[in-house]
């Protein structure tokens, strides 16, 4: 994991002091509400429906058990004993007191954490695949590159007041894209060229919200040394030409669309030619230095499929289900990647109580070199578990509520906080998640349905990524009443697409019936190999529409 040196410590300490001063001046009325707003936002502090919300960065999802214990401790002492893991590898506290936030930040700083740029119109926390560094099929470990981008974007003096927030995600895996890079302002795909050199395919102008778009490729291969100057060029063009008159049209996706990718690319290249090869060109030694923070833990020489695993798999369906769904092949023999699901029925997706955080930290200490990851799907990951210890880990997970064996299935949904917490919501989303979890509790049925992303947002801002759910649910307001619009056919991986709206929206109590109908159409039409999304792509929206809106008589 990345370790701060004296320089990083000092930077974060200076930020804490600065924010303490800003908060005091706001409380003394020396700073107006309007002036304090972007200052607090740049430090992850929203003012929400019931209380402020503080968003803590978990850079590229890496967390030590010590850091997680600090988060749980903070949630107990300053909040209500829980936190919410978000889709952007952040943790949100829903009930901190404004006057205590500087103290919270100081406690975070002590364990090398912060809330810098987790909100506001600046470059946000860079996200990546939660299985980075351990998954068998990645091209290289993306984390050193994420750390490079983190440092470049932290307090970048030119880009603290962009037209709009700016999100970068990195992927280094050709078979899967767990970071949804194509729906980010910039998506970076790490590649190797024919000479074996590392570089990036650069995708620009993706995003969700009011005008959802899949990004377009601006450049097929930028050598890694040029990464920062090329990013500079893109963000600089955006800062100068992005619209500022309308917040919904201020994102880079609107600029790229308005200019067309060719004109946008010309402008970026024109900018780049002035700064290419300047001091920000990254020397190989820096990549080596960053890489050295992400060296392998002390793995033991083991072999795959030890008896302790295979015997248990044969004996216990519960265990083998969990193994099949919630664990992944590791690049090292004898190890496995394990996802701890935070999707237990009755618990808001992504929520973790302080006790659960402590428990997860204990599990990381016991089974996984004291490290964890946070995933885009709002789960936690133990990246380095010995296969012969999986059975023991599974038993521990069951106790803690982390063993719901449904990763990637219908009930492993992404869900925003919605009307229960969020001031912007048009409708609640957590009760919808609960309704669906209750309806689809039969595991055999869920397994039969297979891989399916279901995403729920409480409003057009799309925090729950509903547009890229294979099934997406969006809360809408109709004359003061809460309704839900359903879309199908979205996807967030390498095959990213924006879902299509099925038709008129539904009342809350109808949702699980509607989802059932959609699933029935899929099951009736699928070929043996097809996932929901494939069947949809083959047969189109009409059969789904007909089934859902058919008159009952």
Give the interface with another protein as residue ranges (CB under 8 A): 5, 7-8, 10-11, 14-15, 18, 22, 30-31, 35, 38-39, 121, 151-152, 154-163, 228, 236, 239-240, 244, 274, 278-280, 282-283, 286, 289
Interatomic CA distance for residues 397 and 389, integer angstroms: 12
Backbone angles phi, psi at 426, to 5 degrees: -95, -20
Query: Is the Cβ of residue 135 or residue 473 nearer to ligand SF4 in the bound state?
Result: 473
Task: Tell me how far apart the alpha carbons of residues 483 and 501 are, in angstroms, rounded to a whole number.
Answer: 14
**Contact string (CB under 6 A) for ligand HEM, positions 65-84, x = contact:** -------------------x
Whether 235 and 159 have beta carbons less than 8 Å apart is answered as yes
Nearest residue to 432 via CA among 450, 451, 448, 410: 410
Nearest alpha carbon to residue 331 among 63, 493, 141, 200: 141
Q: Smaller CB distance to ligand SF4: residue 47 or 313?
A: 47
β-strands 82-85, 90-93 pairing: antiparallel
What is the CB neighbour count within 10 angstroms for residue 333?
A: 13
**Which of 53, 68, 115, 515 touches ligand HEM (CB under 6 A)?**
53
Q: Should residue 424 be labelled a site residue for ligand HEM when binding is judged by CB under 6 A?
A: yes
Contacts (CB under 6 A) with ligand SF4, residues 453-472: 457-459, 461-464
* DSSP state at residue 281: S
What's the min distance (Å) between Cβ of 376 and ligand SF4?
15
Dist. CA 175–CA 155, nearest whole Å: 34
- Taking the C-alpha atoms of residue 467 and residue 211, their distance in angstroms, rounded to an integer, is 10
Report what 208 binds from another protein, ligand HEM, ligand SF4, none; CB cut-off 5-8 Å by kind: ligand HEM
Give the position of tokens 């002590």.
110
With CB cut-offs between 5 and 8 Å by kind, which of another protein, ligand HEM, ligand SF4, none does residue 11 bind? another protein
| Cα 409 to Cα 412: distance, rounded to the nearest angstrom | 5
296 binds, among another protein, ligand SF4, ligand HEM, none (CB under 5 to 8 A by kind): none
Does residue number 46 form part of the binding site for ligand HEM (CB under 6 A)?
yes
CB under 8 Å to 451, separation ≥6 — which residues? 408, 409, 531, 532
Contact pattern for ligand SF4 over residues 396 through 435, marking x by CB under 6 A: --------------------xxx---x-xx----------
CA–centroid distance for 491 within its chain? 14
According to DSSP, the residues that pair with 83 across neighbouring strands are 352
Of these partners, ligand HEM, another protein, ligand SF4, none, which one is at the site of residue 154 (CB under 5 to 8 Å by kind)? another protein
Query: Between 381 and 463, whose beta carbon lies closer to ligand HEM?
Result: 463
Look at phi and psi of residue 540 and say left if phi exceeds 0, alpha if psi is from -120 to 50, else beta.
left
Q: What token pair was written down for 341? A: 């699901």
228 is a site residue for ligand SF4 (CB under 6 A): no
Contacted by 30, from ligand HEM, another protein, ligand SF4, none: CB < 5 to 8 Å by type: another protein
Least distance to ligand HEM, CB of residue 328, Å: 22
Closest to ligand HEM by CB, 142 or 464: 464
Among the listed residues 83, 96, 163, 207, the single contact to ligand HEM using CB under 6 A = 207
Considering the complex, state which of residue 86 and residue 470 has its C-beta at the smaller distance from ligand HEM: 86
Q: Which of 115, 222, 374, 422 binds ligand HEM (CB under 6 A)?
A: 422
In angstroms, give the least distance from the CB of 86 to ligand HEM: 3
Residue 457 interaction partner, one of another protein, ligand HEM, ligand SF4, none, beta carbon < 5-8 Å per kind: ligand SF4
Which positions from 453 to 482 touch ligand HEM by CB under 6 A, shown as an x/- string?
--------xxx-------------------
Pick from 430, 269, 425: nearest CA to 345: 430
Question: Considering only residues 222-261, where is the footprint of ligand HEM by CB under 6 A?
Answer: 251
Strand partners, 507: 483
Smallest separation (angstroms) from another protein to the CB of 538: 46
Q: What Å distances lie between residue 351 and 80, 82, 210, 342, 344, CA to CA? A: 12, 7, 26, 7, 10
CA–CA distance, 232 with 21 (Å, rounded to integer)? 31
Alpha-helix runs per DSSP H in 340-480:
354-367, 390-400, 430-439, 443-449
Residues that bind ligand HEM (CB under 6 A): 46, 48, 53, 84, 86-88, 92, 183, 207-210, 251, 350, 416-417, 421-422, 424, 461-463
């Amino acid at each position: 994991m990345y370790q701060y040196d004296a320089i990083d410590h000092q930077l974060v300490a200076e930020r804490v002091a600065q924010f303490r001063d800003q908060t005091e001046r706001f409380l003394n009325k020396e700073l107006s509400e309007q002036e304090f707003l972007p200052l607090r936002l740049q430090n992850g502090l929203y003012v929400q429906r019931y209380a402020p919300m503080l968003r803590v960065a978990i850079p590229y999802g890496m967390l030590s058990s010590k850091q997680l214990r600090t988060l749980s401790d903070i949630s107990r002492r300053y909040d209500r004993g829980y936190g919410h893991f978000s889709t952007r590898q952040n943790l949100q506290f829903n009930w901190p007191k404004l006057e205590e936030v500087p103290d919270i930040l100081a406690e975070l700083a002590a364990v090398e954490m912060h809330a810098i740029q987790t909100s506001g119109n600046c470059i946000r926390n860079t996200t990546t695949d939660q299985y980075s560094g351990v998954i068998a099929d990645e091209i290289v470990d993306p984390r050193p590159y994420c750390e490079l981008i983190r440092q470049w974007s932290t307090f970048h003096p030119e880009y603290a007041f962009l037209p709009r927030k700016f999100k970068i995600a990195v992927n280094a895996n050709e078979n899967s894209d767990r970071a949804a890079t194509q729906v980010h302002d910039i998506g970076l795909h790490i590649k190797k060229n024919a000479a074996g050199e590392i570089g990036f395919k650069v995708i620009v102008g993706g995003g969700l919200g009011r005008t959802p778009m899949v990004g377009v490729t601006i450049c097929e291969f930028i050598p890694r040394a040029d990464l920062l100057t090329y990013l500079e060029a893109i963000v600089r063009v955006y800062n100068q030409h992005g619209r500022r008159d309308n917040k919904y049209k201020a994102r880079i996706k609107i600029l790229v669309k308005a200019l067309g990718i060719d004109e946008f690319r010309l402008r970026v290249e024109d900018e780049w030619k002035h700064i290419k090869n300047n001091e920000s060109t990254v020397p190989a030694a820096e990549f080596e230095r960053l890489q050295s923070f992400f060296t392998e833990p002390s793995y033991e020489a083991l072999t795959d499929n030890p008896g302790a695993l295979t015997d248990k798999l044969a004996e216990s369906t519960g265990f083998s289900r969990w193994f099949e769904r919630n664990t992944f092949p590791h690049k090292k023999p004898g190890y496995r990647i394990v996802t701890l699901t935070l999707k237990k029925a009755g618990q808001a997706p992504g929520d973790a109580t302080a006790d659960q955080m402590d428990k997860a930290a204990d599990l990381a200490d016991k089974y996984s070199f004291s490290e964890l990851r946070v995933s885009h799907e709002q789960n936690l990951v133990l990246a380095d578990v010995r296969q012969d210890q999986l059975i023991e880990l599974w038993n521990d997970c069951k106790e803690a509520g982390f063993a719901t064996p449904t990763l990637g299935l219908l009930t492993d949904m992404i869900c925003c906080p919605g009307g229960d917490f969020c001031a912007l919501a048009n409708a609640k989303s957590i009760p919808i998640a609960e309704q669906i979890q209750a309806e689809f509790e039969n595991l055999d049925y869920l397994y039969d349905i297979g891989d399916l992303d279901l995403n729920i947002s409480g409003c057009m801002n799309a925090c729950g990524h509903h547009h890229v759910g294979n099934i997406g649910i969006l809360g809408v307001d109709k004359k003061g009443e809460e309704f839900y619009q359903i879309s199908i056919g979205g996807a967030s991986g390498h095959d990213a697409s924006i879902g299509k709206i099925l038709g008129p929206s539904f009342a809350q109590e109808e949702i699980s019936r509607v989802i059932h109908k959609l699933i029935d159409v899929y099951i009736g039409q699928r070929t043996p190999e097809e996932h929901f999304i494939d069947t949809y792509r083959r047969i189109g929206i009409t059969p789904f529409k007909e089934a859902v809106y058919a008159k009952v008589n």
